[in-house]
Chains A and B, each alone.
Chain A
């Protein structure tokens, strides 16, 4: 597969935490501008998403512990990795994404097929190497 262009740890991070290309781009957008205050409105403009989609993406990222919601004033989001390890992974991802857009987006798209496949795989009665 195209995984050989993506470091193992980054690929695992994407598989674990990133559910869509929109989420990835929002994460990298906030990472690239860590001192800005991001709201669904300005994220939606930068990423060409609807306000609703931008809102959901930001909520998802905050649930996954990579982005923090600040509730003062009218509320905004900022980049805040949950741990130094996560911070390093996001930094690395920030570097390589522009050069590896195709393999990374392919990886994300293959994830949704994987989920459906899990439904079918449930019917395997023998335990495979998990």
Chain B
């Protein structure tokens, strides 16, 4: 699905820039994509089931981790801005 294609783009960006944020985004969109595929394939899509919301939550948690890391791990005095 679209999520998985976006994940592939993020993987490429990570490969180009070595910025871990893109790796997190790639995994985030990747697992969310798989989540949605599974959701779509089950006969009775019920988003209340822990599996689905847990995976969705993990995918957003990855984004949060990416943001936190971006904000607290940058080296001070980095000239390349």
Contact = CB atoms under 8 A, between A and B. Distances in A.
A joins B in a complex: yes
Interface of A: 113, 116-117, 119-121, 123-126, 128-130
Nearest to B21: A120
B16 A124 contact: no
B21 A123 contact: yes
Interface of B: 13, 16-17, 19, 21-22, 66-67, 70-71, 74, 81
Contacts of A119: 13
Contacts of A116: 13, 16-17, 22
11 contacts: A116-B13, A116-B17, A120-B13, A120-B21, A123-B21, A123-B71, A125-B71, A126-B71, A128-B81, A129-B81, A130-B81
